[in-house]
A and B are shown apart, each in its own frame.
Chain A
């Protein structure tokens, strides 16, 4: 029984699931000079309360413990009310430095063709909440 639980855990941890939430593409101006591509990525770790409870229940030894875990999951879910994209994170400013990083990668300050992608790489219990910005630096 313990061996099967361990196997399930290993299998779950080995798989990921990618979700695309938003994609935005801005104007691309090829007339200003040579375009040098660049990429900037910012990310944070999200935590899924439901997955945490399910994994904890795998290792619970009694029905009473499983019931407590269900209650805990419901109570914590009630404290995370609101619209969600991906899993909740512990800060909301993890993506704020993206524009400054873009300017660092492009010293001339002339940037075109910016595309922004908001995505989630989903794993059991945790997830990667990611914003990827690609663009071209006009040389």
Chain B
């Protein structure tokens, strides 16, 4: 019985330490204007779930937030990471979207077509 209690305590303390990454998707960088400045942006949304989830609206929220972080530019190279923080009856679904906001290219443009990451 004492061993069982110790095990339960150890399990409760260690819950929330494990994760599962389900998917990583990455978009292209192939239509950048010359000498574009790439500003890293990211957005993340999470959904705490008790046993079972009712919807997947957290993904839509992350998408809206990412677009809002670059309201006047183009967003390229979007990486989408879908993961879950596992836990004791409660787990957290997460969607993290990161990308690069392309502002207007520099006026001191060049024959060099390298992009610049801020």
Binding site for B on A (CB under 8 A): 21-22, 24, 26-27, 29, 32, 44, 47, 68, 71-72, 75-76, 78-92, 94-96, 98-99, 102-103, 106-114, 116, 118, 129, 131, 133, 138
Most buried by A among B8, B24, B84: B24
- Residues from chain B with a CB closer than 8 A to the CB of A27 are 28, 30
Chain B nearest CB from A2 CB (Å) reads 25
Task: Known A-B contacts: A21-B22, A103-B115. Give 5 more (CB < 8 A).
Answer: A83-B84, A92-B94, A98-B79, A109-B115, A118-B23
> Nearest 6 pairs between A and B by C-beta?
A109-B115, A82-B91, A79-B15, A88-B18, A92-B19, A112-B30
- Cα–Cα, bound, A29→B27 (Å): 13
Inter-chain residue pair count (beta carbon < 8 A): 161
Binding site for A on B (CB under 8 A): 3-4, 7-8, 11-12, 14-32, 36, 38, 49, 51, 77, 79, 81, 83-94, 96, 98-100, 113-117
- Cα–Cα, bound, A21→B23 (Å): 8
- Residues from chain B with a CB closer than 8 A to the CB of A32 are 30
Determine if B26 and A88 form an interchain contact, defined as CB atoms under 8 angstroms apart. no
Chain A nearest CB from B34 CB (Å) reads 10
Query: Which of A22, A82, A99, A109 is B32 in contact with, Cβ under 8 Å?
Result: A109
- Residues from chain A with a CB closer than 8 A to the CB of B17 are 90
Determine if A109 and B87 form an interchain contact, defined as CB atoms under 8 angstroms apart. no
- Cα–Cα, bound, A53→B116 (Å): 51
Determine if B115 and A110 form an interchain contact, defined as CB atoms under 8 angstroms apart. yes
Determine if A84 and B96 form an interchain contact, defined as CB atoms under 8 angstroms apart. no
Query: Which of A26, A78, A91, A112 is B19 in contact with, Cβ under 8 Å?
Result: A91
Q: List 16 A-B contacts (CB under 8 A).
A: A22-B24, A27-B30, A29-B28, A29-B30, A29-B31, A81-B89, A82-B92, A83-B91, A92-B21, A95-B21, A102-B26, A109-B114, A111-B28, A114-B27, A118-B21, A131-B21
